[in-house]
């Protein structure tokens, strides 16, 4: 493997000194980029794009050609694991992801296999290897997975949901059944992320998109506990370097303390949590990633710049901050606004790292 | 006006002793009740139901016929004010509310009138008077309005939204324009709630459904500040009795301290905030209303009972708690589950009020 030329992102995750705050964007390879839309049209379906390592590599690198981003993230979908378990993932236009089979009964949960990544999802480590080769040490590559609770909601509901009625009913009425499902997912996700690490992912992020929809105790029981199992089982050092782990629960600002207790290296924040408050609560344990409202990217570059300045000043001096949006960038954002955002993070953050 | 026979709800909002924890449910007059669906079919459209004081009274009282609820809430819609401002509210099946006109430019904001409730929305105070007469002192009647920010999102977007792209772009790019709009709404909402109070509403709730979508500072500026203006202008005593004010920001658990500083009597909580934590943060200033996940009502009665017991024990002994769901009851809930919920709040809470 070639030497890493820009390690700001990994250093910030380890709370080591940096010259400027690193930045990347969730969903940075996505529909707001015309070149992405062209690749997507060429590939066929969204899953065709994910399952073709050369194409996945192509779109992963597209935002890096435009912007001085400090990390690449594997282009893939969070629902590869339930798909590999045999549920039959498909996408309906304008409807989001759907599954042909849903998980409703104990027999359904029993029938689910544990995922074997090399056998069931070989295209994922293949894509990781291809991207690492093409990145050639420019920036680190992030691997990722959905959290068990997040995956379970799609599997039980059969797709997206507004109120997670069926998944919550299973959790409340048949907690042992839900936990069997979450256990199978935690084991599968652990193995899946470890295969990404072995293939070359230099950091991993667990996306808990829907943990924030749970009540306080239910979050700890059904979302955080299975993520803890994953954290316990991850390869934390590979190829002579630590592999930092980022945990991101959207809407999770009220649970930062127990999240930081899991032993992850960094927590992702959405924009509802002030980063200064998060730093004073858990900054002695973990780095923080976030947390600009992606809707700010609809504003004029001056306003974007002012908001970046606010967040940098709110975090304050020293390392331990990876700048990001508080959720994925949306398709309607102008690419030049994303560029203005990324450039001013670097420019405005240097003053906070003079003592690093 | 006849004497109030059950004042548990008002006493708990003032943190005065009660014999049992009062309970009501947001959207308690709603589609989960077959008798509501029958009235709705008889009335024609949803707005026909809201605009007919006799019909609005009929559906307001329906849940009280079934359950020992401690409060009634005016049956109406949060979007009556923008409709009265001339935007043309309508509902498309399965699509939620829509407006014929949207508010985009300074000229649009300038053209919006301040609402005069008695002239523009006479059916609302009429419904309040009719319901008070029919309640005949059984329980208190709650009046309500949407918050300025929540109303503004619908007016700028033209309807519901997932990411509030247009409303946020206006707030970020043209903050003075957004504030002009919010000011007009704050003045209108204040007058609207005061007319409800004069007509007989014994408590009022401000529903801030979408403040929780804002970043920390933006919440204070665009959602809380206009709500503060309303609180400052409300009639706080009427007919010899205090009129308590409840402020509910869904997803607002991180802002309880500044919300409590506004001078309201109670804060509504959604289920992501543990009520014990909320009580220790702001319980010396305000009462708390909430906060069971409405999805618990999909579970079996035993599980509902266990969750009610958890929340009661989490709040602990003493007054200052109004039991409620953390959001509106959903159409798919079985009426008998709502009944089990309400009955066990009374039964299980008495032990916490022996010293009251």
Q: Is residue A170 part of a domain?
A: yes
Write down the pLDDT at residue A121.
97
In a domain, B271, yes or no: yes
What does R_g of chain A's alpha carbons equal in angstroms? 19
CA distance, residue A341 to nearest chain B CA (Å): 15
Residues across chain B: 356
Helix (H, G, I), strand (E, B) or coil at B246: strand
Q: CA of B300: which chain A residue's CA is closest?
A: A173
**DSSP bridge partners of A266:** A246, A287
Q: Which tokens hold the place of B125? A: 């105070």
Note the ipTM here: 0.92
The CATH number that applies at residue A46 is 3.20.20.210
Strands B321-325 and B287-292: parallel
The Cα–Cα gap between B339 and B147 comes to 30
Percent of chain A with pLDDT over 70: 99
DSSP state of B23: B
Q: How far is CA A92 from CA A96, A97, A99, A181, A330, in A?
A: 6, 7, 10, 26, 19
Which residues in chain A (138-197) have CB-CB distances under 8 A to chain B?
Answer: 163-165, 168-169, 172-173
pTM for the complete prediction? 0.95
Q: Alpha-carbon distance A6 to A3, whole Å?
A: 9
Find the length of chain A.
356
Inter-residue contact B42 to B12 (CB < 8 Å): no
Task: Output the pLDDT for position B283.
Answer: 97
- A128 in a domain, yes or no? yes
Each residue of A191-221: pLDDT tens digit? 999 999 999 999 999 999 999 999 999 999 9
Domain count across chain B: 1
Positions in chain B whose pLDDT score sits under 70: 1-2
Residue A24 lies in a domain: no
Establish if A318 belongs to a structural domain. Answer: no
- Whether residue B271 and residue A332 make contact (CB cut-off 8 A), yes or no, is no
Contacts of B165 in chain A (CB under 8 A): 295, 298, 330, 332
Kindly state whether A294 is in contact with chain B, defined as any CB-CB distance less than 8 angstroms. yes
Which residues of chain A neighbour B328 with C-beta distances below 8 Å? none
* Residue B186 confidence (pLDDT): 98
The predicted pLDDT at position A265 comes to 98
Instruction: Identify which of A216, A219, A303 has the shortest CB distance to residue B173.
Output: A303
Which range marks the domain in which residue B263 is found? 32-287
B127 within domain boundaries:
yes
Evaluate if residue A282 carries a pLDDT over 90.
Answer: yes
Alpha-carbon gap, residue A143 to A197, rounded angstroms: 7
State the number of CA atoms in the 13 A half-sphere of B215 facing the CB.
24
Catalytic residues of A: 27, 31, 40, 77, 154
In a domain, A305, yes or no: no
Look at residue A245 and tell me whether its pLDDT is greater than 90.
Answer: yes
Distance of CA B251 to CAs A291, B47, B327, Å?
17, 28, 10
Is the pLDDT assigned to residue A94 strictly greater than 90?
Answer: no
Contacts with B314 (C-beta within 8 Å, 6 or more apart), sequence order: B274, B275, B276
User: Is residue B40 annotated as part of the catalytic site, yes or no?
Assistant: yes
Tokens 């973990």 correspond to A286
Chain B, 66 to 125: residues with Cβ < 8 Å from chain A are none
| Residue A95 pLDDT grade (very low, low, confident, very high; cuts 50, 70, 90) | confident
Chain A within 8 Å of B218 (Cβ-Cβ)?
Answer: yes
* pLDDT over threshold 70, residue A1: no
Q: Given B217, B254, B310, which is nearest A254 (Cβ)?
A: B254
* Strand A287-292 relative to strand A266-268, pairing: parallel
Is A138 a member of any domain? Answer: yes
Of A83-97, A276-290, B96-110, B340-354, which range is least confident?
Answer: A83-97
């Amino acid at each position: 493997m070639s030497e890493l030329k820009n390690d700001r992102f990994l250093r910030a995750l380890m709370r080591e000194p940096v010259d400027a705050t690193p930045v990347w964007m969730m969903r940075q390879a996505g529909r707001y980029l015309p070149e992405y839309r062209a690749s997507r049209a060429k590939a066929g379906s969204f899953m065709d794009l994910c399952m073709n390592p050369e194409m996945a590599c192509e779109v992963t690198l597209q935002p890096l050609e435009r912007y001085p981003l400090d990390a690449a993230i594997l282009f893939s979908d969070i629902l590869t694991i339930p798909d590999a378990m045999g549920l039959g993932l498909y996408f309906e236009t304008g409807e989001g992801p759907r599954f042909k089979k849903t998980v409703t009964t104990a027999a359904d949960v029993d029938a689910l296999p544990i995922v074997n990544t090399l056998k069931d999802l070989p295209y994922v480590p293949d894509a990781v290897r291809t991207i690492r080769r093409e990145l050639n040490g420019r920036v680190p590559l992030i691997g990722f997975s959905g959290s068990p609770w997040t995956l379970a909601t799609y599997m039980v509901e059969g797709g997206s949901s507004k109120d997670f009625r069926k998944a919550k009913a299973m959790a409340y009425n048949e907690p042992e059944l839900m936990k069997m499902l979450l256990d199978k997912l935690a084991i599968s996700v652990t193995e899946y992320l470890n295969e990404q690490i072995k293939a070359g992912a230099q950091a991993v992020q667990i996306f808990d998109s829907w943990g924030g929809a749970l009540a306080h105790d239910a979050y700890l029981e059904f979302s955080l506990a299975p993520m803890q199992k994953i954290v316990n089982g991850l390869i934390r050092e590979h190829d002579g370097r630590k592999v930092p782990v980022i945990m991101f629960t959207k809407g999770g600002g009220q649970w930062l303390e127990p999240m930081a207790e899991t032993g992850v290296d960094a927590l992702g924040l959405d924009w509802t949590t002030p980063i200064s408050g998060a730093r004073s609560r858990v900054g002695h344990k973990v780095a923080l990633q976030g947390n600009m409202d992606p809707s700010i990217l609809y504003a004029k570059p001056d306003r974007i710049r002012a908001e970046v300045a606010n967040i940098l000043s709110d975090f304050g001096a020293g390392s331990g901050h990876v700048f990001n949006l508080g959720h994925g960038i949306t398709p309607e954002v102008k690419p030049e606004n994303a560029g203005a955002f990324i450039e001013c993070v670097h420019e405005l953050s240097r003053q906070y790292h003079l003592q690093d």
